[in-house]
Structures are given as structure tokens and as C-alpha cells.
Structure 1
Amino acid sequence: MLDDFAIRAGLAGLGVALAAAPLGCFVVWRRMAYFGDATSHAALLGVALALAVDLPVFAGVLVVALVMALIVSSLSERHVSTDALLGVLAHAALAVGLVAVSLLPGQRVDLQAYLFGEILAVTQTDLITIWGGAVMVALLLIWRWQALLSATLSPDLATASGGNPKREQLILTLALAITVAVAIKVVGALLIAAMLVIPAATARPFARTPEAMAFWAVAVGAVAALGGLAGSFTFDTPTGPSIVTLAAGLFALSAALAPLLRRG
């Protein structure tokens, strides 16, 4: 069955939705969209590192994404002016990554594949990596769900109850780095943040509990992945951007329906 590239692509999209959508709920709740942007833009530098030292791309992206996420988290805790500084970090990391990839000796790198994803070229090995990372993120979030919620809703109350908000922040940082590493093959460095934020934001008006929001976010991400893949086949459009375009359309529909849901 996995010899069919379309089935592999669909399974890869579902794996990314499983990892990104519930994590994206915490990104939305904590207003950390900048955090996802900076981390995902650093992924290209991870690609360059992996190719330079002959490591799997997943490993290089994971290391660099984790380092960038830790830097961003540290700056946030110090209350450094976030918007401008994080904008500099995000775009500087992307630019340095592009330059580093171009300077690699004897390497021919398809930059478009890493920037916008290449889901149709997913191999069985890639699929194992994507689903392994997705399951790891899902289990991590399930294990720490209540603690993460407490730290998100009220860090002071979580601390008073014996929790450790900084530890929960590190867990989110690790989950984000894993998600970036598994998603780069599917939607690319420029679109990973969109798959974190858009499904969660789309699900928000339909959910009455945090758990319901996570469930609906996964459903929206799955519909966007499979629908975008089908649309790409039908209209001969780039697959990664097609997935994000459909996700954006679902968000627009959700935003239009939100006032009706509130009145109901």
C-alpha cells in the first residue's frame, strides 16, 4: 500500500496534523505565533547543518529548531521587546540558512522543497520519521496536558499548586522543535507556523473546552492536509501552499460562522 506516493503523501499530511494541531492550541492560547515563526524559519539552518556534517535532515532541523526555541523562550522570559527582536531572529535565521545552504560544497539542494515542502516525494523512511515524531508529540502533550493547561491559564496559580511553569515551557519548546522537524518535508519552513496556528484558530469558535478545541484542531488540520493534497492533484498547484490555502479558507468560514454560534 505504501508504494503509492499519493497514499504516503496523505499519511504524511495526517501525521503533521496530529503533531501540529494540538500543539497549535497552546501556541494560540499563549499568543506565541512569533515563537512558531522564529523556530520554523530556523529550520533551513538545520538543513544546512545536516548536509554539512552528513546527518539526517530530521536530526539537523531538530537540533537547530530546539536551540532557536530555547533562545526565543529565554528572551520572552526576560521581557525583551518581542515583536522587533523576534522578527529579526526569524528572518535572520532564514537568511543565514539560505546562505549556508548555498555555500555547501558539492551539494545540489532543492531550496523550494525545504521552503514550501515536498509532500509528494515523501518516502517510507520519511513517513516513519513523521509519524514517530507525531506520536511522540501527542504522547508528550497527553502526559503533561493538565500541567500545561494550568501553566498556560495562570502561571502564578500553577506555581502555588506545586507546578513548574518553566518546566512546562521547556516541554512545549521540545514539542515545537519536534513538530518543526517532522513538518518541514510536508509543508516547508515557511508554512509550518501556519499549520500550527490556523487549525487551532479555526477550531476555537466551535469548542467549549480545551480538549474539544484540540480535537477540532486535529480534524481541521486533517481536512486541510487531505483536501489540499486533492486540490493540488486537481488543479496542478504546489501541494504545501495548497494545504495552507485550504486551512485559511476553513478559518475564514469559521470566522464567518462565529457570530452565529455565539448567538445560538
Structure 2
Amino acid sequence: MFDDFLLRAGLAGVGLSLATGPLGSFVVWRRMAYFGDATAHAAILGVALALASDLPIVAGTMVVALAMAVTVATLAAKGWAMDTTLGVLAHSALAFGLVAVSWFPAVRTDLSAYLFGDILAVSRGDLALVWGGAVLVVSLIVWRWQALLTCTLDEDLAHASGLVPDRERMVLVVALAVVVALALKVVGALLIAAMLIIPAAAARGLARSPEAMALGAVAVGAVSVGAGLGFSLWQDTPAGPSIIAVAAVIFALSAALSNRRGG
């Protein structure tokens, strides 16, 4: 039984890494870190929606995350000052979500699981959902890879090539909403953005191509999951934060190695 729940946790983390690796690379390239943060914070409001309407938690989370992501993308397209707007939306969504969840007494004791994840409690159904969603996100990104990359590098070039940057941005928005819904169970709302950004940032300094960076981010995420779970088991620390802490250490080592090569 012990090996079974630990194996499920590891597989769930690796499945999530498959999605966060390539998606996180685009988040880093497009400087969308705060965008991901706002979408992740909205996940708690999605939990409240699911509880109020008897929807599955994943469905409620995905609906609200998608609504937040579409709102942010629409405002960005209209030229709003996104640093302030994202800050207001991110923290407002989190605050409204925490207030709404407090109306459900049975959930109050489990609130830390929604904020920081509970990867050790992943069930077989959760595992199937994580891997199914990860395959969907990876398939979407692979299908639109060249178009997404062109729009990321130069929107004028994308227009000249017959691409529609707004449509490609919406592809990322949908993928981000799916990943947020999947990651809520694994690392929690407060750590989802870290899982997107840190592995991609760690791979960036050592990669020689966009594809190498995306694959490197997947590898960093998977190693972080394995080492983080091991550290959590050894030191009895929270599993989700332990995974992110390991990823941060890998990022520091990668940055040091990259600077040394540059020197």
C-alpha cells in the first residue's frame, strides 16, 4: 500500500511535468509569469464554484481558470497595463475564492490541500485525469508548435506568414487553464505558477534550441518530483513545497553553470 500511493504520486508529478515543461517554456518566452499566477489563483474560486454547484472540482477549477485566462488575454489585446491589472485580478480572485470556500465548513480543514497540493493523496482516477489532460496539452502544443513559436518570436512575421497571433495566444490560454485544473491536486494553487516557471527557467540557460528547452523543462520537472517526494518522505516535509524547493535548487545550479560557461 505504501509503495502504491508513492508510485501514484510520482506518476502524477511526472505527468504534470510533461504538460508544464513545454507550456512553461512559452510562459517564460512570452514573459507571462504573472498571467500564469493570476490563472492559478483563480483556481480557489473554481473550487468554491464546484462545491456550490455540485460539479467535480476539476470542472469548476477549469471553468474559472479559463474565464480568468480569457479575461486577461482580452485585456492584454486591448492594450491594458497588464502588471497592475494582473496584480488586481490575481489577488482579488484568490481573496474571493478563500471567502467563498469558507462558507463550506467541511472544506475548511482541507483548504491547505487546495493551496499547497496533496500529491500523496492522488487516487487512480486522479492519475488517469492528470495523464489524460497532460497528453491533451502536449498534443495541442505539438500541433501548434511552429505557429506558437513564430508568434512568440515576432508577431509581424507571424502576420506575414498568414498566422493569427490572437488565435495562438488563445491556444496557450486554453492549455494553461487545463494545466491549472490538473495541478491543483498535485502542487496546489499557490505553487502552480512555480511549477510552470522554475523548470523552464532552469532549462533555459543550458538549452541550445527551443525544443531542447522544452524537453529540458520536462526533465527538470520530473527530477524535481522524484527528489522532492524523496526529501518529503525523509524529512516529513510537505510534498508540494518540497518539489518546488528542489526545482529551485536545480535552477540555482543551472544558473551557476550557465554563468560559468558564459565566463
Pick the TM interval, shorter chain.
over 0.9
How far has the Cα of 1:84 moved from its partner?
A: 1.7
- Give the partner amino acid of 2:110: D
Does 1:146 find its partner at 2:146? Answer: yes
Does 1:222 find its partner at 2:222? Answer: yes
2:204 aligns to what SS in structure 1?
Answer: helix
**1:143-195 Cα shifts (integer Å, max 9, x gaps):** 00000000100111111111111110000000000000000100000000000
Does 1:157 find its partner at 2:140? Answer: no
- Give the partner amino acid of 1:227: A
How far has the Cα of 1:103 moved from its partner?
A: 1.2
- Give the conservation status (yes or no) of the 8 Å contact 1:195–1:221: yes
- Give the partner amino acid of 1:12: A
Q: Which residue of 1 aligns with 2:68?
A: 68
Q: Distance in 2 between matches of 1:233 and 1:72?
A: 39
- Give the conservation status (yes or no) of the 8 Å contact 1:119–1:186: yes
Q: Distance in 1 between matches of 2:2 and 2:237?
A: 23
Q: Which residue of 2 aligns with 1:252?
A: 252
Any gaps of 5 or more consecutive residues in structure 1? none
Does 1:16 find its partner at 2:16? Answer: yes
Report percent identity of matched pairs.
64
- Give the conservation status (yes or no) of the 8 Å contact 1:205–1:261: no
How far has the Cα of 1:3 moved from its partner?
A: 7.6
Q: Distance in 1 between matches of 2:58 and 2:221?
A: 22
CA RMSD of aligned residues (A): 1.4
Does 1:232 find its partner at 2:232? Answer: yes
- Give the conservation status (yes or no) of the 8 Å contact 2:101–2:108: no
Range 165-174 or range 252-261, more displaced = 252-261
Q: Distance in 1 between matches of 2:189 and 2:107?
A: 19
- Give the partner amino acid of 2:67: V
Does 1:92 find its partner at 2:89? Answer: no
- Give the partner amino acid of 1:85: T
**1:226-259 Cα shifts (integer Å, max 9, x gaps):** 1101100001000000000000111111111112
What pairs with 1:22-171 in structure 2 (closer than 5 Å)? 22-104=22-104, 110-171=110-171
After superposition, the Cα gap between the structure-2 partners of 1:108 and 1:153, relative to the gap in structure 1 and judged at 3 Å, is same
1:42 aligns to what SS in structure 2?
Answer: helix
2:185 aligns to what SS in structure 1?
Answer: coil
After superposition, the Cα gap between the structure-2 partners of 1:105 and 1:220, relative to the gap in structure 1 and judged at 3 Å, is closer
- Give the conservation status (yes or no) of the 8 Å contact 1:224–1:244: yes
How far has the Cα of 1:260 moved from its partner?
A: 2.1
- Give the partner amino acid of 1:115: L
- Give the conservation status (yes or no) of the 8 Å contact 1:38–1:89: yes
Moved over 6 A (4+): none
- Give the partner amino acid of 1:97: G
How far has the Cα of 1:75 moved from its partner?
A: 1.4
Compute the TM-score of the two structures, normalised by the length of structure 2. Answer: 0.97
Any gaps of 5 or more consecutive residues in structure 2? none
How far has the Cα of 1:104 moved from its partner?
A: 3.0
* Aligned residue pair count: 263
Q: Distance in 1 between matches of 2:76 and 2:226?
A: 35
